[in-house]
C-alpha cells in the first residue's frame, strides 16, 4: 500500500565511505525491496520504496499514491505520464525508473507490436539519498526509516570485495548473429534501410549477486552513467556508455550519440593503434555520421529554431573494455515543450536502433530472438523542475522471473562484416561479463551439522 506524504523528513550527513559503496550498502540493506541506484557525474542517488508510482502499458497509464488513477490508452502515452507526474502530491518530487525499448513502438500510439509487458515504471521514492562531494542529503517519508538509513550509512566495518566469476560471451547465439548481420547487409545494400543494430543474448547459468557485480563492474568501468535497480520485477545493473537525453530546468537539451567501436586491451601501444584505426575506418565514420545526423533531426522537432548544433564531433571516449567515436548534440526546447517531448523525440537512441528507425524496428523484430525489454531502453530520473536525465541501457546484466542474462549489439551498415560485428559484441559484453559476482550459496543445514561434528 502506497502512502502519499506532502513532505519529507530530511537531514544531512558527512560520509566516511565513498559514495558508490554507500549507495550499494543501502541497496543491500533490505530496507526497500524495490530501489534504484543512479550515478550521474560523480553524484550517486538511492531511491527506495515509493510514495507515488507511475506505470505504463498497452491499457494506459496508472498513478498509485494511496488510491489509483487510471488513464486509459489514448495514443499519447508520454503526455499521460507527464500529466500523472503533474498530479503527484509530494513536495519537490523526483522520480526514478526505467523505460523498455518497446516503448519506441508505442510512443506515437501504435500498439500493433506491443504485448502485455510493462513499457515504463517510475517511482517517487519513499526514501531518497543523494551523495555528492562527501555529503549525503537524506529524506524519507517517515522518521523511523530516516533513522534506519542513517544507521546503515554510519555503520563501521570493512567493505568486502567479492571475486567475480567471468562468463564465456563468445559462443551463445554466434551463428545466428552472423546470419542476421548478413541479412541486414543485404537489406542495406537493397536500400531498405541505412543502419540497424542487432543484439544477441548470452544466458548466465548461475545466480548473480547484483550489488557485488555493480561494485566490481563500476570499479572496472568508466561509464557516462551507472545504475543498479530492482523495480517492478526486474533487476539490472549496468555501466551506460552514453545518455539518451538530458534536459535542464531551463530547457537546455543534450543528446550524446556514440557509434563506432574498437577494443580497449590495456596495452597502451595496441590501444593507440586501434584508436587510430577507429578514426580512419570509413565504415565506422559513416556509421557515426549518420547517427549524429539523425540525432540533430530529432532535436529539431522539439527545439527552438536555430538552437540545435553539434557541440562536439567524433571524439574518442573510453568506456570499459571498448573505445567509441562520440559526439554531443544540443539545443533549447521550444516554447511549450517539456522534458517528455525531448525524450519522445529521441527515444530510442539511434545508436541502439537504426536509420531510419521504423525500418530498423521491423528488422530488429524479424531477426532478434526475443523482445528487448530493458535492453537499449533507458534508466532515468525526472523532477518537478522539469529536469531529466536518461541513460541508455547497455553494458548491463538482467534478471527477471528466475532468468539471468547479458545482451549486446553492434551497428550494421553496408560495409559490415559478420565476423567483425560478432567480435564487437564480445568486446562490449566484456564490460560486464568479466565482473559477474556469484551469489553466496546457502549453507546446506545437514552438511553444516556434519562439518561441525567433524570439527568437534
The residues annotated as belonging to the active site are 242
> Which residues sit opposite 13 in a β-bridge?
136
Q: Do β-strands 127-132 and 135-140 pair in parallel, antiparallel, or remain unpaired? A: antiparallel
From residue 451, give the alpha-carbon distance in Å to each of 121, 440, 441, 447. 47, 18, 16, 6
Q: 38 by DSSP, 3-state: which?
A: strand
> Which residues sit opposite 11 in a β-bridge?
138
CA distance 309 to 312: 9
CA distance 314 to 292: 9
| Closest of 204, 311, 209, 313 to residue 258, by C-alpha | 313
Residue whose grid cell is 549496468: 238
Asked if residue 8 lies in contact with residue 47, where contact means CB atoms within 8 angstroms, the answer is no
Q: Which burial class, exposed, middle or buried, applies to 107 when counting CB atoms under 10 A from its CB (0-12, 13-18, 19+)?
A: buried
The DSSP element (H or E) to which 52 belongs, if any, is strand 52-57
CA distance 304 to 189: 36
Amino acid at each position: 500500500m502506497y502512502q502519499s506524504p506532502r513532505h519529507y523528513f530530511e537531514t544531512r550527513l558527512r560520509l566516511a565511505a565513498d559514495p558508490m559503496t554507500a549507495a550499494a550498502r543501502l541497496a543491500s540493506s533490505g530496507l526497500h525491496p524495490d530501489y534504484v541506484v543512479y550515478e550521474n557525474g560523480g553524484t550517486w542517488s538511492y531511491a527506495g520504496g515509493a510514495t507515488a508510482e507511475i506505470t505504463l502499458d498497452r491499457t494506459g497509464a496508472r498513478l498509485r499514491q494511496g488510491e489509483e488513477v487510471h488513464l486509459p490508452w489514448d495514443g499519447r502515452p508520454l503526455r499521460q505520464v507527464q500529466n500523472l507526474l503533474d498530479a503527484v502530491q509530494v513536495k519537490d518530487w523526483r522520480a526514478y525508473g526505467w523505460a523498455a525499448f518497446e516503448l519506441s513502438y508505442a510512443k506515437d500510439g501504435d500498439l500493433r507490436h506491443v504485448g502485455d509487458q510493462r513499457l515504463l515504471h517510475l517511482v517517487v521514492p519513499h526514501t531518497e539519498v543523494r551523495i555528492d562531494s562527501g555529503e549525503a542529503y537524506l529524506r524519507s517519508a517517515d522518521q523511523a526509516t530516516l533513522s534506519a538509513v542513517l544507521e546503515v550509512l554510519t555503520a563501521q566495518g570493512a567493505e568486502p570485495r567479492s571475486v567475480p566469476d567471468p562468463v564465456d560471451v563468445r559462443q551463445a547465439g554466434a551463428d545466428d548473429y552472423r546470419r542476421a548481420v548478413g541479412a541486414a547487409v543485404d537489406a542495406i545494400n537493397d536500400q531498405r534501410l541505412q543502419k540497424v543494430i542487432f543484439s544477441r543474448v548470452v544466458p548466465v547459468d548461475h545466480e548473480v549477486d547484483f550489488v557485488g557485480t555493480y561494485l566490481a563492474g563500476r570499479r572496472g568501468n568508466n561509464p557516462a552513467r551507472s545504475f543498479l535497480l530492482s523495480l517492478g520485477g526486474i533487476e539490472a545493473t549496468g555501466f551506460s556508455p552514453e545518455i539518451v537525453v538530458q534536459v535542464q530546468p531551463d530547457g537546455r537539451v543534450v543528446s550524446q550519440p556514440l557509434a563506432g567501436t574498437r577494443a580497449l586491451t590495456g596495452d597502451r601501444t595496441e590501444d593507440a593503434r586501434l584508436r587510430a584505426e577507429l578514426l580512419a575506418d570509413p565504415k565506422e565514420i559513416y556509421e557515426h555520421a549518420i547517427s549524429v545526423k539523425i540525432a540533430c533531426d530529432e532535436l529539431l522537432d522539439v527545439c527552438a529554431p536555430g538552437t540545435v548544433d553539434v557541440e562536439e564531433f567524433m571524439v574518442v571516449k573510453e568506456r570499459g573494455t571498448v573505445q567509441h567515436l562520440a559526439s554531443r548534440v544540443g539545443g533549447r526546447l521550444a516554447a511549450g515543450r517539456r522534458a517528455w517531448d525531448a525524450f519522445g523525440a529521441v527515444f530510442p537512441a539511434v545508436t541502439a536502433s537504426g536509420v531510419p528507425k521504423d525500418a530498423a524496428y521491423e528488422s530488429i523484430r524479424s531477426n532478434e530472438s526475443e523482445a528487448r525489454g530493458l535492453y537499449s531502453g533507458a534508466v532515468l530520473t525526472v523532477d518537478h523542475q522539469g529536469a531529466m536525465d536518461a541513460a541508455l541501457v547497455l553494458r548491463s546484466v538482467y534478471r527477471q522471473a528466475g532468468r539471468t542474462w547479458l545482451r549486446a549489439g553492434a551497428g550494421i551498415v553496408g560495409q559490415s562484416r559478420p565476423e567483425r560485428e560478432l567480435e564487437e559484441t564480445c568486446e562490449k559484453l566484456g564490460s560486464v561479463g568479466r565482473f559477474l559476482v556469484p551469489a553466496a550459496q546457502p549453507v546446506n543445514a545437514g552438511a553444516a551439522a556434519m562439518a561441525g561434528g567433524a570439527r568437534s
